[in-house]
Amino acid sequence: MSQYGRPDQAEKRYAASFDVDNVIQRILFGSKEVNRYNYRLHSAPQNIGLEALLDPSTIDFTDPYTHEQITKTYNAFGFIVKREATE
């Protein structure tokens, strides 16, 4: 997450979990718009303990405007470490 929504141009970046980011998007754009992206979260089960916190999480979704399949991988601190987009 960045201060102005443009991570590539941000001087300051902030870590935020997918849940926090999703709530902010719902407040700003509404649930109907956010639901169009069909987000899928892949992460380690929380019941395995500390290892789950250290395991990277992956979010898959389809951009409804460009129709790209996008995958974002987050590290344990909430920063995006990898982003892939395919048509």
The number of helices, as runs of H, and strands, as runs of E, in the chain is 3, 4
Residues 61-77: tens digit of each pLDDT: 999 999 999 999 888 77
Of 75, 85, 84, the C-alpha closest to 17 is 75
Torsion angle of the four alpha carbons 6, 10, 16, 22, in this order, in degrees rounded to the nearest 10: -10
d(CA 66, CA 17): 25
What is the pTM assigned to this prediction? 0.69
Please check the confidence at residue 3 and state whether its pLDDT lies above 70: no
| Average pLDDT rounded to a whole number, residues 14-24 | 81
Domain boundaries, the chain: 35-86
